Amino acid sequence: MKARILVAIVGIPALLGAIWAGFPTFTIVVGVAALIGIWEFHRMAKGWGAAPYWPYGILWTVLFVVHAQLAADHGNFSIFLIAGGLAPLLVVALIRRSRASFQNCLHTALGPLYVGFLLSHALLLREGAAGLEDGRDWLLYALFVTFAADTGAFFIGKFLGRNKMAPEISPGKTWEGFVGGLAGAAGVSVGLTALLGLPCSLPCQIVFGLLLGTVAPLGDLAQSYMKRRAGVKDSGVLLPGHGGILDRMDSLLATLPVTFYVAAYIIV
């Protein structure tokens, strides 16, 4: 627990500083996190019996990060990057026509899509892609509402949790914790939108907070499922007391895209 607190004390201010600084500092942070994340994903994939084409996965992940940095000025072409990355893998799978080849191509695709594409939304938010104003503030909103959801779920689940949410995937998650996470996310959503001056009415603030509070544990459960399939406790050993980088980003990988698309295409 001491190690977790120490990492949080050092890591959170450093992350906030990088977000405030923007390019190139935050871009480097996201890029390094993406590279570590794809390495951890490939490590878990080996536990599933797959052998992803890791150079291809790394390259595709890097392209997602580069594209996100440029998207504010040149347009968001994520859909074309996804299609362009999938096409060669589909060709390989069709040519080789073996179960092993299909499995390897599938997991090669899943890594960049899970890590690179989802995490790239941090840069899409920060740089204000799709004409999004106050992108930095929306990124801070996504981070702190997600933290509130995770924290609320942890403490309420720890002290009041009785009914397991998904015992076969994550035995520690409870429905009581889920409700606590929703309350924390909604409360921080209301406070942050007022503090940051984001264009969101009170009903919007509550609904948006509840939405992020709902998808955050789904990201956590997805990561828990992958680790359980791989037979590992943590995705990596990078952060003392925290495990790997994917263990820390699991909820954010779900909430960052939701925040971007709702803020850019529905609210603003």
Provide the residue ranges of all domains of the chain, joining segments of one domain with +.
2-267
Task: Please choose, from the candidates 49, 47, 103, the residue with its C-alpha nearest in 3D space to the C-alpha of residue 230.
Answer: 47
* pLDDT for res 2: 56
Task: Please choose, from the candidates 19, 218, 222, the residue with its C-alpha nearest in 3D space to the C-alpha of residue 114.
Answer: 222
List, for residues 123-141, the tens digit of each pLDDT value.
999 999 988 989 999 999 9
List, for residues 156-176, the tens digit of each pLDDT value.
999 998 999 998 898 889 999
Distance CA 53, CA 63 (A): 16
* pLDDT for res 234: 77
Q: Kindly state the tokens that stand for 40.
A: 């951890």
The identity of residue 124, as a single letter, is L
For residue 76, the SS3 value is: coil
- Percentage of the chain beyond pLDDT 90 is 75
Give the CA-trace dihedral at 216, 221, 223, 226, to 10 degrees.
-160
Q: Kindly state the tokens that stand for 169.
A: 């995937």
* pLDDT for res 235: 78
Beta-carbon neighbour count of residue 202 at 10 Å? Answer: 10
